[in-house]
């Protein structure tokens, strides 16, 4: 899965894959894999990148064409994410089973995300954008805006 604007944001910052690799203490080939979609960047790393360089997750995922710099840094809270996953699903009158068929996972796995037992993977998070209109990953993760 390609995070659409990950590479674009790195190039905007005039950084090399090696620079990002050093920041995350990974091999540059790992960063290359994230940019090409060969590998999926873990949500924790993507949030760390967004916080460090002040990018919105909606921009990095390609949900918006501009970077909204008004967000505060985010600390992942699995309970907030679980609560928001359940709320948005119910708002759209969907069952867990119907969501799992679209994002290609099991109902049991998805239940773990909604019950704060596991952090939803980046790829499944992206697949939710195919279900919900006017969807904000920043908001789903509980990211707050600056006052």
Q: Would you say residue 70 lies in a domain?
A: no
Q: Would you say residue 67 lies in a domain?
A: no
Q: What is the pLDDT of residue 2?
A: 81
Q: Would you say residue 147 lies in a domain?
A: no
- 34 and 85 together in one domain: no
Q: What is the pLDDT of residue 125?
A: 92
Which residues form the domain of 52? 6-61
- 35 and 87 together in one domain: no
Q: Which is more confidently placed, 133 or 108?
A: 108
The H or E element that residue 60 is part of is helix 57-61
Q: Would you say residue 68 lies in a domain?
A: no
Q: What is the pLDDT of residue 147?
A: 78
For residue 1, name the pLDDT band (cuts at 50, 70, 90). Answer: low
Q: What is the pLDDT of residue 130?
A: 85
Q: Would you say residue 1 lies in a domain?
A: no
Residue 138 burial (CB count, 10 A): 22
Model's pTM, two decimal places? 0.92
Q: Would you say residue 14 lies in a domain?
A: yes
Digit-coded pLDDT (tens) for 56-107:
999 999 999 999 999 999 999 999 999 999 999 999 999 999 999 989 999 9
Q: Which residues pair with 71 in a beta bridge?
A: 145
CATH number at residue 119: 1.10.260.40
Number of domains in the chain: 2
Residue 23 CA, chain-centre distance (Å), reads: 19
Q: Would you say residue 145 lies in a domain?
A: no
Question: Residue 108 above 90 pLDDT?
Answer: yes
Tell me what the mean pLDDT of segment 52-56 comes to: 97
């Amino acid at each position: 899965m390609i995070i659409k604007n990950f590479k674009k944001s790195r190039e905007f910052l005039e950084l090399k894959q090696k620079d990002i690799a050093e920041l995350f203490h990974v091999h540059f080939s790992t960063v290359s894999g994230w940019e090409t979609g060969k590998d999926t960047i873990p949500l924790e790393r993507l949030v760390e990148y967004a916080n460090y360089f002040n990018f919105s997750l909606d921009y990095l995922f390609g949900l918006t064409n501009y970077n909204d710099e008004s967000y505060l840094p985010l600390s992942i809270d699995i309970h907030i994410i679980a609560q928001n996953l359940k709320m948005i699903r119910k708002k759209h009158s969907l069952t867990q089973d119907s969501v799992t068929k679209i994002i290609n996972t099991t109902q049991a796995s998805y239940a773990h995300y909604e019950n704060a037992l596991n952090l939803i993977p980046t790829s499944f998070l992206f697949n939710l954008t195919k279900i919900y209109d006017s969807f904000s990953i920043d908001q789903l993760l509980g990211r707050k805006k600056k006052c």
